[in-house]
Amino acid sequence: MAISSKGVMRPGHVQLRVLDMDEAVEHYRDRMGLIEVQTDPQGRVYFKGYTEFDKFSIVLREADEAGLDFMGFKVESPEVLAGLRQDLIDYGCKVEDIPAGELDGCGARVRFDSPTGHFFELYAEKEQTGKWGIPNLNPDAWPEGLKGMQATRFDHCLLFGGDIDGTSDIFIKVLGFRLAEQAMDGDMRIASFLSCSNKEHDIAFIKHEHDGRLHHVSFWLDTWEHVLRAADIISMHDISLDFGPSRHGLTHGARIYFFDPSGNRNKVFCQGDYYYPDHPVITWTADQLGKAVFYHSRELNERFLTVTT
Amino acid sequence: MLHQIDVPSEQSSFSCQSGLSLLVGMERQQVGASMTRYIPAGCRGGGCGVCRIRILSGSYTSKKMSIKHVTPEEREQGVALACRVFPEGNMCIVVLERSEARAPDNNC
């Protein structure tokens, strides 16, 4: 059972806008090491991490600007989906029903807006094609033939916007997420990290003057050695580097940040704290923000805090 | 082949290799590096709008850049993102404020 008290299991997919599909496919497939699943009739390209059972988790759409179209969460059942749809309407969200099959292999989706200008979705069903190269019966440890950074799975997004308390309130009150960690500037919350699972964050928000912004899409790697190897691949292919490899104070993840060819920020990371619903909220104060973001250098970096798509 | 990129507003110039964008060319210039950081570097992929410039003269090719940071009208007036402009000869540019500075979505 999901730890979310309302039956939300996990981040399930994200649809990103890219400026050039060929460059983006090369990046996500050959550098990140995601598995290319298919191209749909609209020209969107689907990917997944090799450990993911569901058919896809990353969808790329070619557009005139970079950024996030929407982030979707998988819930436990169609009954849960119907209940949460009504709860979102009752809360005051604008809800749009997206029919099954609009994303190939995905069931009906319930899309809703938020005070920070981001669009989110819930869905209960997605075709399960299984882990890539690993059977369900007597599975080996990992598949041969993985490329690049060998990203194992989509993990979370960090989003920027104005009213982060407003959007967090929907996730907490309607969807059953819990506030695991926060950063406070006096009485003002400037970052909230929310969990629907054992992970320290399944989605995070940072206060920013522009709404609807994507800070990063994050992927899980198993070890610090994999993170260092990802850094090597970033140098080998002159991928635009943001920061790292290093550690966060917030959540204590060890990671490296870089940009896809359209400027969407990616993160690959390992380690980090775990979460249970009885844990107290962890707080970082504004005077320690350098350490919270860059645990080793302890100096804030303007690009990290202001560059978004 | 090296192209000279004049930045009169900074009373300076830098050299940019063929095949590199103006932004990455500037970042690669090692001699006098501390003097050649006046184009701010963001995502380097045409997505974030940090490295906005106006091109005053010179020939170049460019790649697609996010329309929310450079509108089609601005493109016609020579506005571009330095990470998406590839010089084919000497150029003259002005560094602009990032588009972010123009119109915040809210007042937080």
pLDDT in tens, A3-51: 688 999 999 999 999 999 999 999 999 999 999 999 999 999 999 999 9
Residue A90 neighbours by CB distance under 10 Å? 9
Tell if the CB–CB gap between A308 and B48 is shorter than 8 Å: yes
To the nearest whole Å, the CA of B97 is away from the closest chain A CA by 14
**Is omega for the bond preceding A280 within 30 degrees of 0, making it cis?**
no
- Grouping H, G, I as helix, E, B as strand and the rest as coil, residue A138 is coil
pLDDT for the residue B101: 53
pLDDT digits (tens, 9 = 90+) for A296-307: 989 888 888 889
Contacts of B108 in chain A (CB under 8 A): 162-163, 207-209
B35 band by pLDDT with thresholds 50, 70 and 90: low
pLDDT digits (tens, 9 = 90+) for A107-139: 999 999 999 999 999 999 999 999 999 999 999
Contacts of A66 in chain B (CB under 8 A): 43, 45-48, 66
Long-range contacts of A132-138 (CB under 8 A, 24+ apart): A132/A35, A132/A48, A132/A50, A133/A50, A134/A50, A134/A51
How many angstroms separate the CA atoms of A11 and A30, rounded?
23
**Closest chain A CA to residue B40:** A303
A238 band by pLDDT with thresholds 50, 70 and 90: very high
CB of B4 within 8 Å of a chain A CB? The answer is no
Cβ(A294)–Cβ(A246) under 8 Å?
yes
Contacts of B43 in chain A (CB under 8 A): 66, 240, 242, 259, 263-265, 307, 309
B106: pLDDT strictly greater than 50: no
Average the pLDDT over each of A85-94, A212-221, A244-253 and give the range with the smallest value: A244-253
Contacts of B104 in chain A (CB under 8 A): 209-210
Altogether, the residues listed in chain A come to a count of 309
Tell if the CB–CB gap between A265 and B65 is shorter than 8 Å: no
To the nearest whole Å, the CA of A155 is away from the closest chain B CA by 21
pLDDT for the residue B107: 34
Per-residue tokens: A226: 């994999």
Closest CB to A309 among B48, B64, B107: B48
Side-chain half-sphere CA neighbours of A9 within 13 A: 14
Altogether, the residues listed in chain B come to a count of 108
Closest CB to A263 among B46, B105, B108: B46
**CA dihedral for B50, A304, B105, A289, sign (positive or negative):** negative
Please compute the mean of the pLDDT values over residues A219-241 and round it to a whole number.
97
Chain pair A-B, CB pairs under 8 angstroms: 86
Please compute the mean of the pLDDT values over residues A206-223 and round it to a whole number.
97
Contacts of B69 in chain A (CB under 8 A): 65
Closest CB to A211 among B43, B48, B106: B106
Please compute the mean of the pLDDT values over residues A146-169 and round it to a whole number.
98
Task: Look at phi and psi of residue A186 and say left if phi exceeds 0, alpha if psi is from -120 to 50, else beta.
Answer: left
Tell if the CB–CB gap between B48 and A19 is shorter than 8 Å: no
A217: pLDDT strictly greater than 90: yes
B104: pLDDT strictly greater than 60: no
**Residue bearing the bigger pLDDT, B107 or A278:** A278
Per-residue tokens: A88: 């979102």
pLDDT for the residue B30: 65
Per-residue tokens: B86: 């590839």
Cβ(A137)–Cβ(A64) under 8 Å?
no
